[in-house]
A and B are shown apart, each in its own frame.
Chain A
């Protein structure tokens, strides 16, 4: 069994509100670990992700640290580099679709607004990560990856970005101030430009 830290702590991005991402990799006994604490994978599934060149495999390959090994080996390092990432256009389209559904839900219903804002944050962040890995070839797995794409950065105000990020924290970690109707309306007004940006990333991923 192997336990790794990955994500922000391995990038040196330490904030008072940061959580620590932990990964446990094991055999058949891996299900006994708490999914609220760990991302849980079998050795076989990790090997498959490596073979697919999945972005999560690249993330672990580039930003993980071994914390515990039951056999004194570093399992992830022993796998070498993941296969090249070849599904960028497909993944970017998936996140554009996710964005589209969340925005439609925001305008159709008031019953899941924070969740929808959180999903929009997720779609923006993940499309930026996939684009950075598959097109720019300079992978960025940060929570702020969409802001760090330089000339390709998301056209979203800092305040708008923070509202979406707060929604994500409310959904996942259950803390932070509630999001007001005015904040939701302000974020909504920025989403046309975000949609155009995401569509452009999809088109560029298709051409790559």
Chain B
């Protein structure tokens, strides 16, 4: 699979981990800053909570996929797979702790 498609798959995996909790009002739709803001407001989540910090960290690693649509046919950024995997593990344990 291309790097681009791998990163989409990583984003999907993170969203499925976060949304595994079953939020009060709305799932997290994406990892853009605005989608994260909507999710925290809709579900009345403390924006300073650890889960929000982790989601924002994931967003910053994948920001170009979360926000941009025009240049996605280019393979732009160096692989950050190991960092993403660490964040995913932390999100998984945080969701388990909160559930």
- A, B co-complexed: yes
Task: Enumerate chain A interface residues (CB-CB to B < 8 A).
Answer: 6-7, 21, 35-36, 39, 45, 49, 54-56, 59, 91, 94, 97-98, 101-102, 105, 109, 111-116, 118-119, 122, 125-126, 129-130, 141, 143, 167-168, 170-175, 178
Give the distance in Å from the alpha carbon of A87 to the alpha carbon of B32 in the complex. 29
Residues on B close to A: CB < 8 A? 1-2, 4-5, 8-9, 11-12, 15-16, 19-20, 26-27, 29-30, 32-39, 63-64, 66-74, 76
Inter-chain contact A172/B73, CB cutoff 8 Å:
no
B-chain residues with CB within 8 Å of residue A141 when the two chains form the complex: 70
Contact status A174-B5, CB under 8 Å: no
Q: How far is the CA of A109 from the CA of B29 in the complex (A)?
A: 14
Residue of B8, B20, B68 most packed against chain A (CB within 10 A): B8
B12 to chain A: closest residue by CB: A112
Total CB contacts across the A-B interface at under 8 A: 111
- Please give me the 10 A-B residue pairs with the lowest Cβ-Cβ distance, nearest first: A171-B30, A174-B34, A174-B38, A111-B19, A174-B35, A111-B16, A56-B71, A112-B15, A170-B29, A114-B29
Q: Which of A94, A115, A167 contacts B12 (CB 8 A)?
A: A115
Nearest chain-A residue to B9 (Cβ)?
A101
- The interface residues of chain A lying within 8 Å CB-to-CB of B67 are 35-36, 172
Contact A171 B73, CB 8 Å, known A97-B1, A97-B5:
no
